[in-house]
Amino acid sequence: MLQNILDNIFLGVILLIIVGIIYLPFYFILRKKQIPILRQLSYLGLAGIIFIILFATILISIIGSGLNFNPPYHRLNLIPFSWLFDTFTMSQVISNIIMFIPLGFLLPIVFKKFRSFFNTTLFAFAFSFFIECFQYFIGRSSDIDDLILNTLGGIIGYGIFILFNKWLSTQNWWKNLLQ
């Protein structure tokens, strides 16, 4: 299990490098507009985390096993917190939460409209819902617990943003980041 997590981290780093390379043309455009480097990095971070989430949840299964639109292979769990009674490991629960924390943290930094609890939570929920629906239709399992835990991760990330905003609100670099 630890090796699987380390493999995913390694893939995430590689994907972040790829996203960085793709981002370079945008960097030069944003630089001409005199957007501060920290703000540019927050754009890159948000794009990177969205790409990593999509890779970890959807793309890796398509690459590994292809698409499977055969309904008998689809699995749908609509019973909340079934992992409490199943052989679901705690590392999977924690991974589902941790995966969405950066999303909940970076959304309000990059976009002003996500500086509300409701909007950030709604986006985390909707993004997770999209992933779960897509997973179901490509032959993977879809689970209400993943939806709940991913949304919780987004909420935790937003809470961390609120704490940072409270602690750093007088710092010029933080103000520039949030412009």
Tokens of 22: 């793709």
For residues 101 and 160, is the Cβ–Cβ distance under 8 A?
yes
Task: Check residue 38 and give its pLDDT.
Answer: 85
Task: Check residue 135 and give its pLDDT.
Answer: 84
Per-residue pLDDT averaged across 14-28, rounded? 73
Asked whether the predicted pLDDT for residue 26 surpasses 90, the reply is no
What Cα–Cα distance (Å) separates residue 25 from each residue in 9, 28, 81?
A: 26, 5, 44
Per-residue pLDDT averaged across 54-82, rounded? 64
Strand pairing of 141-143 and 75-77? Answer: parallel
Task: Check residue 85 and give its pLDDT.
Answer: 62
Asked whether the predicted pLDDT for residue 46 surpasses 60, the reply is yes
For residues 129 and 147, is the Cβ–Cβ distance under 8 A?
yes
Asked whether the predicted pLDDT for residue 104 surpasses 70, the reply is yes
Band of the pLDDT at 127, cuts 50, 70, 90? very high
> What percent of the chain clears pLDDT 70, i.e. is strictly above it?
75
Domain ranges for the chain, please list them. 38-75+92-178
**What are the b/e assignments for 19-37, b being 16+ CB within 10 Å?**
beeebeeebeebeeeeeee
